[in-house]
Structure 1
Amino acid sequence: MKKLVLTMLFGLIALAGYSQVRWDVQLGMNFSNMTKADDAKMLPGFKVGLGMDYAFTDVWSLKSGLMFESKGYKLDEEKARPIYMQIPVMAAWKANITDDIKFVVNAGPYFAVGLGGKYKEGNSDIKLFSSDGMNMKRFDLGIQWGIGVELSERYIVNFTGENGFISPFDFPSGYNGDKPKNMTFTIGVGYIF
Structure 2
Amino acid sequence: MKRVFLAILALSLGCLGAKAQWSLNPEAGLSLNVADVSGVPCLPSWKVGVGVDYDFTPRWGISSGLYFTERRINESYSGYGYIYGDGHYGSYSDGLATVVSSGLSFYFPLMGKVSKTLSEDVRLSFAAGPYVGYCFNQGIRNHMGNWKEGVFTEQETHYFDGGVMARLGIEAKRWTMALSYEADLVKRKNGWGLRSSEVDPIHSLSLTVGYKFYLGKN
TM over 0.5: yes
Q: Is the 8 A contact 1:64 1:90 kept in 2?
A: yes
Match of 1:182 in 2: 202
Match of 1:25 in 2: 26
Deviation (angstroms), 1:17: 2.2
Out of 109, 119, 123, which is 1:88 matched to?
Answer: 109
Q: Is the 8 A contact 1:32 1:72 kept in 2?
A: yes
Distance 2:9 2:42 in 1: 48
Q: Which amino acid aligns with 1:24?
A: N
Cα 1:119–1:179 change in 2 (3 A) is closer
SS in structure 2 of the partner of residue 40 of structure 1? coil
Cα 1:80–1:179 change in 2 (3 A) is closer
Distance 1:68 1:185 in 2: 14
Out of 160, 175, 183, which is 1:139 matched to?
Answer: 160
- Between Structure 1 and Structure 2, whose CA radius of gyration is higher? 2
Q: Is the 8 A contact 1:30 1:44 kept in 2?
A: yes
Match of 2:149 in 1: 126
Q: Which amino acid aligns with 1:119?
A: I
**TM-score after normalising by structure 2:** 0.76
Match of 2:64 in 1: 64
Q: How many residues align?
A: 186
Distance 1:8 1:68 in 2: 39
Distance 1:180 1:7 in 2: 52
Distance 1:99 1:71 in 2: 37
- My pick for the range that moved more, 65-74 or 25-34, is 65-74
Distance 2:16 2:167 in 1: 25
Distance 2:148 2:110 in 1: 34
Q: Does 1:79 align with 2:100?
A: yes
**Unaligned stretches of 5+ in structure 2?**
77-97, 214-218
Cα 1:185–1:120 change in 2 (3 A) is same
Out of 136, 155, 165, which is 2:185 matched to?
Answer: 165
Q: Is the 8 A contact 1:34 1:182 kept in 2?
A: yes
Distance 1:104 1:63 in 2: 10
Q: Which amino acid aligns with 1:164?
A: D
- My pick for the range that moved more, 163-172 or 22-31, is 163-172
**TM-score after normalising by structure 1:** 0.85
SS in structure 1 of the partner of residue 57 of structure 2? coil
Cα deviations across residues 117-149 of structure 1 (Å, max 9, x unaligned)?
31111322122422x24x325111011001120
Cα 1:4–1:145 change in 2 (3 A) is farther
**Unaligned stretches of 5+ in structure 1?**
none
CA RMSD of aligned residues (A): 2.4
Q: Which amino acid aligns with 1:169?
A: K
Deviation (angstroms), 1:11: 2.9
Cα 1:117–1:179 change in 2 (3 A) is closer
Distance 1:123 1:72 in 2: 17
Q: Which amino acid aligns with 1:165?
A: L
